Amino acid sequence: ACGSSNNAGGSSSDGGKKTVGFVAVGPEGGFRTANENDIKSAFADAGFELVYSPTQNNDQQKQIQAFNKFVNDEVDAIILSSTEDSGWDDSLKKAAEAEIPVFTVDRNVEVKDDAAKKAIVSHIGPSNEWAGEQAAEFVNKNFPDGANGFILEGPAGLSVVKDRGTGWSNKIGSNIKVLESQSANWSTDEAKTVTAGLLDKYKSDNPQFIFAQNDEMGLGAAQAVDAAGLKGKVKIITIDGTKNALQALVDGDLSYVIEYNPIFGKETAQAVKDYLDGKTVEKDIQIESKTFDAASAKEALDNGSRAY
Amino acid sequence: MTTATANKVKAPKKGFKLDRQMIPTLAAVVIFLLMIIMGQALFGTYIRLGFISSLFIDHAYLIILAVAMTLPILTGGIDLSVGAIVAITAVVGLKLANAGVPAILVMVVMLLIGAVFGLLAGTLIEEFNMQPFIATLSTMFLARGIASIISTDSLTFPDNNNFAFIANEIKIIDNPKISNDLSFNVGVIIALIVVIYGYIFLHHTRTGRTIYAIGGSRSSAELMGLPVKRTQYTIYLTSAILAALASIVYTANIGSAKNTVGVGWELDAVASVVIGGTIITGGFGYVLGSVLGALVRSILDPLTSDFGVPAEWTTIVVGLMILVFVVLQRAVMAVGEKK
Amino acid sequence: MTDKTPIVVMKGITIEFPGVKALDGVDLTLYPGEVHALMGENGAGKSTMIKALTGVYKIDAGSITVEGKPQSFNGTLDAQNAGIATVYQEVNLCTNLSVGENVMLGHEKRGPFGIDWKKTHEAAKTYLAQMGLESIDPHTPLSSISIAMQQLVAIARAMVINAKVLILDEPTSSLDANEVQDLFKIMRKVRDSGVAILFVSHFLDQIYEITDRLTILRNGKFIKEVMTKDTPRDELIGMMIGKSAAELSQIGAKKSRREIEPGEKPLLEVKGLGKKGTINPVDLDIYKGEVVGFAGLLGSGRTELGRLLYGADKPDSGTYEFNGKKVNISDPYTALKNKIAYSTENRHDEGIIGDLTVRQNMLIALQATRGMFNPIPKKEADAIVDKYMEELNVRPRDPDRPIKNLSGGNQQKVLIGRWLATHPELLILDEPTRGIDIGAKAEIQQVVLDLASKGMGVVFISSELEEVVRLSDDIEVLKDRHKIAEIENGDTVSQATIVETIANTNVNGKEA
Amino acid sequence: MAEKAKEEGNALVKKLLSNNLTWSVVAFILLIVICTIFQHDFLALSWNTNTGGLAGPLITMLQESARYLMIATGMTLVISTAGIDLSVGSVMAVAGAAAMQSLSNGVNVWVSILIALLVGLVIGCVNGALVSLLGLQPFITTLIMMLAGRGIAKVITSGENTDASAVAGNEPLRWIANGFILGIPANFVIAVVIVILVGLLCRKTAMGMMIEAVGINQEASRMTGIKPKKILFLVYAVSGFLAAIAGLFATASVMRVDVVKTGQDLEMYAILAVVIGGTSLLGGKFSLAGSAVGAVIIAMIRKTIITLGINAEATPAFFAVVVIVICVMQAPKIHNLGAAMKRKRALKAQAKAVAA
Ligand SMILES: Nc1ncnc2c1ncn2[C@@H]1O[C@H](COP(=O)(O)OP(=O)(O)OP(=O)(O)O)[C@@H](O)[C@H]1O
Ligand SMILES: Nc1ncnc2c1ncn2[C@@H]1O[C@H](COP(=O)(O)OP(=O)(O)OP(=O)(O)O)[C@@H](O)[C@H]1O
Ligand SMILES: [Mg+2]
Ligand SMILES: [Mg+2]
């Protein structure tokens, strides 16, 4: 990829390939890697030159720096997969001044400034709140008489964590009791430890479900549940829909998986292309996600359509 | 009277060794320029007024942190809490601003909170014999923990807050194209003042010189009758307050913040200081070097991105670049030593 | 004299370290305008007494009054503020800073914009000049000057504070005769201005030359305070060591020269050994059983030559033959493997490994030659440690104490034990008697002669020409990093011979 | 007679009080007490027929402590030479990635383990070479390796969190982290055995002394014939190797590597464990037993956080408070408080007497 020597150079609107700057999060496994790889390949297929700029530690500052650099580089469009939903006003204003269209993906950003608002052409991505709601609905449906359980959260403060949590609380029935919410930092391994601890602690409360905010943590929880000899007795619900999770669903380790569909590179590329060609683009492009139970998971795995 | 002694003590060439101490810093200058030139030659976007402007505007906070980190490192210590102090002061600051507290008061409170953590670190180090690494690691956990207890929301400044003046860009050259605008903001000026302050503090005050002395040998400094304890307090207090200042500049700049802000910034600051030629074991180094180090560190990310380094490789490449840098400095110094 | 009011009165000072009572009810009274010496063997408690006065150590009992006010200082800074300037035994300066800064640290001259460096350096220059260091540029890094010069810098630093009490703990141990005289001149001047000087030295000549009053300590206990002029040497020594001076083993007059048999191969033969910038190429032969002294002024390159012979620095020219074999001594390890050992002059930085015990310090070099995974059996280790603690009279005789807690002189003895434990064929001793009390000095000199008589080659480097002349078979004279002469010792050779040689020969070996 | 016995007893108490290890153990017990108050059956052990081992909160705690034991041991040696190894967390990820990736690529499980260990060793050697041969500063060298290591892990798995839980024949690796030896977690047993082996290696040979010597005074050590460069190289290599074992423990526990999370921040925990164990960051004397206790304490703190149900938001603060309390308890100032007050009183009385 090192050959793209003058990709970012100058105003590239003159005939050649259009340049798109991608302010990304960076590979984190699971959802993120699938999502970014998909975007990269979709833009390559659509004939764009994509300059990719990941951050570290989910650091918004590095994203802002990358964004401002893309503005200075005078790219043709910017795709923003932000780690935070606020703090973008100044940068977006610059983009607006430079007349560079911005497409937010995955996470929407909140903007106050009007000039900044203008820079954002469209938002493309699935909904976190929706995913949280699906988890709540599943629990409501399966435990009409009420139940006890845990929530495994991502790192405190990320907006994904909040949105998934909000979705859950919006829909969860009043007879469902969350014994404890703990963070397992998105990590399989930590989730296993945390779950083992929680199962020990609330043995007498007969926990019946675990809502893990992502697949990784759900898989860890499943192992702890298994080790405690509670497989099948505790229902585990996760969000993301990676292959591993679907397989675990088929194997009965998980009970329900809500997809948070990362595959929307094509849609994004199309939106950028349309906009640059002067066509109108929808303000909000919702990416549809599915939910899986064991049967639909098996089907999805068998027909080999899962890309991640 | 003492011709015998006088004769045999021939003065070595003046300032030779002092120059050698500056070599790593000079190397930082050269490499920084080379990187800019390389970026320009390959991608054509590095010698642009807009690029230079945002390099400073976006990294004013890092420059301040680098100056802050220089002080403890010069004594052979470290302050790992700076990133977390940015977080807690930002969260508290934004909460207060949203509660309608006047901006000036908010800033004062932010600086005071920084001071409290600096004082705590100083106390742990000086009164309870904790090593700086551990003491500031603890205050880092503490600050970050308290920040997230206070709020995990993404907080945004209310409209028309008085913080904006720090962020408002002042255009010196306003070209039709934004990439050719030369601009700066109050944040950059604050950073500049901090740098000047750092320079004067380290080179023209007794406390500053005591910092170098402690870095040379703490026990010697004590036996020489220098106020070591007081100086140590000053150091950790200053670095924490500067971290709070960096927080003011940063949050004003992006207009929002939350408890997760500043994760890993302490390591960026350490990297800046080291790239700038300050030796991590203390005793040698310059504030100006740290500033350059911050700029070099800042420019590594856009370079890797422009080179199209695959995502998985970026940290490796950034690491390798710092390594090459450190090795190069080492080589330059070795040559200097031989001569 | 006694009608003066004392400026410092220390009464019943007791300091206990875990396991030792370093001081036990010691009194000390200093009068303005007097030079007062603390006398005692290594480990008697002199340095501890000084540190008690300046608040480095907390006292467990006793009282300190300065100018009539009861005081308990919390460190050098407090003492300084009360007018007490101190130069401690181990040089305590900052090697990362310049000479001038070291002199002025904490007392820099200030202008409207903070420190005024020009004025500060000028001031430093005048203080340095007082110590006879006028030709040192204050900008020179401290690390590039020798320990001895650093000692002078430390004293210059003490002069900056307009002190009422000046404490000098073994300031002369690394100085040569000229510098000692320079120092004494300054001390007299300071004393005459009404300052009380507390002085520690193991050189009796110096004691009698400069001091007015003596306080004698033994094993941490106060023995007596006397006037110098009323106390004969024998009596003084007797009070210090607790037995009569006559019992001190006396090293005979000049040692008889070891004759080289015709055709005998030297133990060590180097040709053109040198290193640019440190020492010019040197030829040198050392035979078995021979003591070769290196003489020269400060900075003449004696240490550098010793380090080259040991591989501590890498030579960039010359050949090296040992025991008739060409060897490449590239580092201390190979030197030790070849049975060459070197005891450094810089005990603090290159000698002791402070936190390790006496036992470990003594065994570590032998262990290094045997290899990491071949530990010395406990029995053998015990035997070695016992033997050298005994032979060198290390006190306290407790091998499991960290070496840093020993007094300076005893540390030195342990280090010599370390090198002897490796059974070297060539032993290079750089200032081995520095800071060692008269009893121990005689012991060490005796050890050197004994070793030589058993066939060991010894290089003896010392700033005390007297002992060089007395112990050596051959004396190599160095000047300005050149070997300028090789003197065969004999009845006609005296200290004066060497001083003249240094004065009258230039570096090309020709008469000046 | 009785007087003397009492005095001796006092001396013993004094010695105990000023010993870091004592305070670490006290802290450990305190944490257990707190946990038991919150969860009455905290100390209860039961036999889990499912896993063929003991089960209970303490057991999961020991299981987690195994990885800390490994990195803390390596870290102790490095810190003893006055260095630091910030890369252990990343090395864990790299080793875990290597094991998981090779397993899922069909490599035999034993070979995979070997590859992982080798990778850790190699990274350790690179650290060692940079520090000893090039003379780079340990902090910055291993900081670079910490950055680069994460990248290497991502490169190995192409950015994925490789999962080998379904790979046939992975049982031996799975057993290492989840199995039991005589009812006790296998990884804990393995870790303890390794710590003891390293301890024996250090103390029965001259290795420990030489490491300490280099840490106390490198130049003086060189002058005694020790080769500091070799020692430095060695400790970083050992640290890398042990971190690889820790990486295996961490990933084998769930048979999955998480390129971002595996080993994240664990270098800090390791350093804390070492310091709690009484080894100074300035180098020199080290205590492997102390670090081992420190490592178990870290695991215990984390267990306490889960047991008390401390909010995710508050965990860092809780962690900080516990660490600060332990370190303050260990401070000589606190131990000497009594003695200092006594001395002050005595001196005051004396001064009065003098004045009178
Ligand atoms: N920090 C310490 N801890 C334990 N013991 C100590 C400490 N400092 C000194 N000592 C012991 O106190 C005694 C007195 O030591 P001190 O350094 O005062 O002797 P000295 O008279 O200065 O000897 P020298 O002439 O060798 O310098 C010695 O036995 C020494 O071992
Ligand atoms: N004229 C000088 N000016 C500055 N530094 C000097 C000068 N001469 C020597 N030095 C420094 O002094 C140090 C001591 O030199 P060296 O050790 O060779 O002296 P020496 O003959 O062994 O004397 P001693 O052992 O008494 O100090 C060297 O590190 C050298 O850099
Ligand atoms: Mg002494
Ligand atoms: Mg010398």
Residue A103: the pLDDT is 95
Residue B226: the pLDDT is 93
**Same domain membership, residue C177 and residue C35:** yes
Percent of chain C residues topping a pLDDT of 70: 96
- In C47-104, beta strands by DSSP E: 61-66, 69-70, 84-87
Q: Which residue of A has its CA nearest to B265?
A: A59
**Contact criterion met (CB < 8 Å) for D50 and A228:** yes
- Give the pLDDT band of residue A243 (cuts 50, 70, 90): confident
**Same domain membership, residue D190 and residue D333:** no
Cβ contact B300:B321 at 8 Å: yes
Query: Is D218 inside any structural domain?
Result: yes
- CA-to-CA distance for C99 and C135, rounded, in angstroms? 12
D225 to chain C, any CB pair closer than 8 A? The answer is yes
Mean pLDDT across C370-399: 92
In the structure, do chain B and chain A come into contact, i.e. share 3 or more CB pairs under 8 Å?
yes
- Give the pLDDT band of residue D22 (cuts 50, 70, 90): confident
**Same domain membership, residue C176 and residue C229:** yes
What are the backbone angles phi and psi of residue B65, rounded to the nearest 5°?
-65, -35
Kindly report which listed range (B242-256, C236-250, C323-337, C347-361) carries the lowest average pLDDT score: C236-250
Mean pLDDT across C211-220: 93
Query: Is D202 inside any structural domain?
Result: yes
**Same domain membership, residue D86 and residue D213:** yes
Cβ contact D251:D262 at 8 Å: yes
β A284-286/A120-125 pair status = parallel
- CA-to-CA distance for A153 and A210, rounded, in angstroms? 11
Residue C5: strand pairing partners: none
Cβ contact B74:B283 at 8 Å: yes
Query: Is C419 inside any structural domain?
Result: yes
Could you list the residue range(s) of the whole structural domain that residue C449 is in? 275-504
Comparing D109 with C494, the larger pLDDT belongs to: D109
**Same domain membership, residue C314 and residue C189:** no
Q: What domains lie within chain B, and their CATH numbers?
A: 23-30+46-332 (1.10.3470)
ipTM score here? 0.87
pLDDT at A7 over 50: no
In ligand 2, which atom is closest to the CA atom of C296?
21
**Same domain membership, residue D190 and residue D93:** yes
* Cα C407 to averaged position of ligand 3 atoms, centre (Å): 6
**Same domain membership, residue C198 and residue C293:** no
Kindly report which listed range (B283-292, D16-25, D81-90, D220-229) carries the lowest average pLDDT score: D16-25
**Per residue in B215-236, pLDDT tens?**
998 999 999 999 999 999 999 9
* HEC per residue, chain D: CHHHHHHHHHHHHHHHHCCHHHHHHHHHHHHHHHHHHHCCCCCCCEEECCCCEEECHHHHHHHHHHHHHHHHHHHHHHHHCCCCCCCHHHHHHHHHHHHHHHHHCCCCHHHHHHHHHHHHHHHHHHHHHHHHCCCCCHHHHHHHHHHHHHHHHHHHHCCCCCECCCCCCCHHHHHHHHCEECCEEHHHHHHHHHHHHHHHHHHHCCHHHHHHHHHHCHHHHHHCCCCHHHHHHHHHHHHHHHHHHHHHHHHHCCCECCCCCCCCCHHHHHHHHHHHCCCCCCCCCCCHHHHHHHHHHHHHHHHHHHHHCCCHHHHHHHHHHHHHHHHHHHCHHHHCHHHHHHHHHHHHHHHHHHHC
Comparing A11 with C490, the larger pLDDT belongs to: C490
For chain C, how many structural domains are there in total?
Answer: 2
**Same domain membership, residue C322 and residue C214:** no
- Give the pLDDT band of residue D152 (cuts 50, 70, 90): very high
**Per residue in C24-39, pLDDT tens?**
999 999 999 999 999 9
**Per residue in B231-286, pLDDT tens?**
999 999 999 999 999 999 999 988 888 888 998 899 999 999 988 888 888 888 89
**Same domain membership, residue C295 and residue C152:** no
Identity of the residue in C58, C369, C375 whose CB atom sits nearest the CB atom of D225: C369
* Cα C348 to averaged position of ligand 1 atoms, centre (Å): 14
Query: Is C243 inside any structural domain?
Result: yes
**Per residue in A247-280, pLDDT tens?**
999 999 999 999 998 889 999 999 999 999 999 8
Query: Is D225 inside any structural domain?
Result: yes
SS3 A152: strand
pLDDT at D228 over 90: yes
pLDDT at C505 over 70: yes
Mean pLDDT across A88-95: 89
Q: Of the candidates D229, D227, D236, D237, which has an alpha carbon nearest to the alpha carbon of residue D206?
A: D227
**Same domain membership, residue D126 and residue D173:** yes
Mean pLDDT across A21-48: 89
Return the residue in D200, D207, D223 with the most chain C beta carbons within 10 A, the one to mutate for interface testing: D223
Return the residue in D324, D326, D329, D330 with the most chain B beta carbons within 10 A, the one to mutate for interface testing: D324
**Per residue in A188-211, pLDDT tens?**
988 998 999 899 888 889 999 999
Mean pLDDT across D184-197: 96
Residue C143: the pLDDT is 84
Could you list the residue range(s) of the whole structural domain that residue D332 is in? 312-355
CATH at residue D278: 1.10.3470
C269 to chain B, any CB pair closer than 8 A? The answer is no
- Give the pLDDT band of residue D353 (cuts 50, 70, 90): low
**Same domain membership, residue C313 and residue C174:** no
- CA-to-CA distance for D285 and D291, rounded, in angstroms? 12
Query: Is C412 inside any structural domain?
Result: yes
Cβ contact A202:A179 at 8 Å: yes
**Contact criterion met (CB < 8 Å) for B137 and D315:** no
* Cα C169 to averaged position of ligand 3 atoms, centre (Å): 7
Kindly report which listed range (B126-135, B330-339, C51-60, C336-345) carries the lowest average pLDDT score: B330-339
- CA-to-CA distance for A132 and A212, rounded, in angstroms? 10
Q: Which residues of A touch B152 (CB under 8 A)?
A: 156-157, 162
Residue C504: the pLDDT is 85
**Per residue in C189-210, pLDDT tens?**
889 989 999 999 988 889 999 9
Q: Of the candidates C441, C392, C448, which has an alpha carbon nearest to the alpha carbon of residue C255?
A: C448
**Same domain membership, residue C313 and residue C175:** no
Highest mean pLDDT among A6-10, B155-159, C236-240: C236-240
DSSP conformation letters of C406-440: S-HHHHHHHHHHHHHTT--SEEEEESTTTT--HHH
Mean pLDDT across B130-159: 90
Residue C1: the pLDDT is 46
For chain D, how many structural domains are there in total?
Answer: 2
Query: Is C476 inside any structural domain?
Result: yes
C146 lines ligand 2 (CB under 6 A): yes
Q: How many residues does chain B have?
A: 339
Identity of the residue in A2, A98, A156 whose CB atom sits nearest the CB atom of B148: A156
Query: Is C260 inside any structural domain?
Result: no
**Same domain membership, residue D257 and residue D126:** yes
Query: Is D9 inside any structural domain?
Result: no
Query: Is C511 inside any structural domain?
Result: no
Which amino acids bring their CB within 6 angstroms of ligand 1? C 17, 20, 22, 40, 42-48, 89, 396, 405-410, 437
- pTM for this prediction: 0.89
**Same domain membership, residue D319 and residue D280:** no
- Max intra-chain CA distance, chain B: 77
- Give the pLDDT band of residue C86 (cuts 50, 70, 90): very high
pLDDT at D121 over 60: yes
What are the backbone angles phi and psi of residue A193, rounded to the nearest 5°?
-60, -45
**Same domain membership, residue C307 and residue C210:** no
pLDDT at C293 over 80: yes
**Same domain membership, residue C295 and residue C185:** no
**Same domain membership, residue D141 and residue D117:** yes
Residue A34: the pLDDT is 87
- Give the pLDDT band of residue D285 (cuts 50, 70, 90): very high
Proximal ligand: closest to the CA of C151 = 2
Comparing C505 with B128, the larger pLDDT belongs to: B128
What token pair was written down for B252? 């004003």
**Same domain membership, residue D243 and residue D94:** yes
- CA-to-CA distance for C483 and C502, rounded, in angstroms? 10
C-alpha separations of B94 from A60, C260, C273 in Å: 17, 89, 71
Task: Round the average pLDDT of chain C to a whole number and report it.
Answer: 88
- CA-to-CA distance for A293 and A307, rounded, in angstroms? 18
**Per residue in D244-278, pLDDT tens?**
999 999 999 999 999 988 998 899 999 999 988 98
Cβ contacts of C306 within 8 Å, gap of 6 or more: C294, C342, C428, C430, C459, C461
**Same domain membership, residue D342 and residue D245:** no
- CA-to-CA distance for C95 and C415, rounded, in angstroms? 24
Say how far residue D138 (Cα) sits from the centre of its chain.
18
CATH at residue C391: 3.40.50.300
- Which residue's CA is minimally distant from atom 9 of ligand 1? C405
Cβ contact A190:D261 at 8 Å: yes
**Same domain membership, residue C289 and residue C225:** no
Q: Which residues of C touch D216 (CB under 8 A)?
A: 353-356
Residue C355: the pLDDT is 93
**Same domain membership, residue D319 and residue D283:** no
Comparing B200 with C297, the larger pLDDT belongs to: B200
**Same domain membership, residue C326 and residue C282:** yes
Q: Which of C303, C350, C462, C498 to mutate to test the pocket of ligand 2 (most atoms within 8 A of CB)?
A: C303
Residue C257: the pLDDT is 67
Distance from CA of A77 to the nearest CA of B (A): 15
**Same domain membership, residue D319 and residue D266:** no
pLDDT at B156 over 90: no
Query: Is C201 inside any structural domain?
Result: yes
Query: Is C261 inside any structural domain?
Result: no
**Contact criterion met (CB < 8 Å) for A26 and B314:** yes
* Cα C408 to averaged position of ligand 3 atoms, centre (Å): 5
Identity of the residue in B11, B204, B220 whose CB atom sits nearest the CB atom of C136: B11
* Cα C46 to averaged position of ligand 3 atoms, centre (Å): 5
**Same domain membership, residue D86 and residue D235:** yes
Q: In a 10 Å sphere around its CB, with 0-12 CB exposed, 13-18 middle and 19+ buried, how is residue D2 labelled?
A: exposed
